[in-house]
Amino acid sequence: MASRAAAAVLVLAALICAAHSSAAAEGLSRGFHAASCPELEDIAGTLVAETFRRDVGVAPALIRILFHDCFPQGCDASVLLTGNNTELNAVPNQTLRPVALDLIERIRAAVHRACGPTVSCADITVLATRDALVQAGGPHFDVAFGRRDALAPASQDLVDTLPAPSFDVPTLISSFGNRSLDVADLVALSGAPRMCPRAPPTRPSTCARRTCSTTSTTSTSS
Ligand SMILES: *[C@@H]1O[C@H](CO)[C@@H](O)[C@H](O)[C@H]1NC(C)=O
Ligand SMILES: *[C@@H]1O[C@H](CO)[C@@H](O)[C@H](O)[C@H]1NC(C)=O
Ligand SMILES: *[C@@H]1O[C@H](CO)[C@@H](O)[C@H](O)[C@H]1NC(C)=O
């Protein structure tokens, strides 16, 4: 699941602007912050690993935030804006977990301390999600940088393009297809927020206790 989710996250992360994603995605590059913030990946990696050790649920929580950010109008961190009439106040935010929002904010603060405000929250969100997937046992994959943050939340119309729990399968396939996501991406991204990452050995996983008892390698049938 983690490796399929990684592939889907890569497709999501390329959604710069839903309307013309492939053209805009060409502006991204792996070395975008190499000169201005060489510490970026170390800072994010350290904070993500430390948070994951405390709460493995941060991995699926980050995937969900990335999905809610990228799906409506591309990855622009608009979902993170606070205040009245923002996406965080919209109905679908209810499953965005504070532990993951807080992690993104802590990475942002540390990166800005080290490098100044040169890295967008959109890039930080994608990077944190990649690192969390790696912590969860997924493959390491390179992410391209250079996203710009939105100054205003996505419109309600665009937030409403997020797939609703009531969608049937053909509608879900159409909805994901409209964002260049295929059926395998649909399955991975629908499952990812419920996935139970490999827990660090010394810490019991509350996630595993709640939902993964049948797949746990150490559990006996009960
Ligand atoms: C948000 O809404 C509340 C209640 O309507 C209002 O008092 C407050 O001034 C608003 N804040 C901003 C930043 O617009
Ligand atoms: C989501 O919106 C609800 C309702 O406005 C609010 O109470 C809650 O704090 C928001 N969740 C997050 C994570 O901001
Ligand atoms: C997908 O896009 C088409 C064309 O814009 C639109 O008619 C359709 O409603 C969209 N599907 C979903 C589920 O949003």
Q: Answer whether residue 56 shows pLDDT above 60.
A: yes
Give all domains of the chain, ordered by start, each with its CATH number: 2-211 (1.10.520.10)
Cα 168-97-32 angle, rounded to 5 deg? 95
If pLDDT is split at 50, 70 and 90, which confidence band does 92 have?
Answer: low
Return the residue whose CA atom lies nearest to atom 2 of ligand 2. 89
Give nearest CA residue, ligand 3 atom 2: 178
The Å distance, Cα 108 to ligand 3 centre, comes to: 35
- Of the chain, the end-to-end C-alpha distance in Å amounts to 25
So what's the pLDDT on residue 145? 93
- 221 CB less than 6 Å from ligand 1? no
Residues 122-165: tens digit of each pLDDT: 999 999 999 999 999 888 888 999 998 988 888 888 888 888 88
% the chain with pLDDT above 90: 36
What are 1-29's pLDDT values in tens digits? Answer: 677 788 788 878 877 544 444 444 557 89
Q: Which residues contact 81 (CB under 8 A, 6 or more apart)?
A: 87, 88, 150, 152, 153
Q: Is 76 annotated as a binding residue?
A: yes
Any ligand 2 atom below 6 A from CB of 156: no
User: Going by CA atoms, what residue is nearest to atom 1 of ligand 1?
Assistant: 84
Mean pLDDT of 62-80: 89
Which numbered atom of ligand 2 lies nearest the CA of 96?
13
Active-site residues: which are they?
68
Q: 171 to each of 64, 167, 176, how far by Cα in Å?
A: 20, 6, 9
Does 86 sit in the ligand 2 pocket, CB within 6 Å?
no
Span 163-192, average pLDDT? 88
Residue type, 80: L
CB of 98 within 6 A of ligand 2: the answer is yes
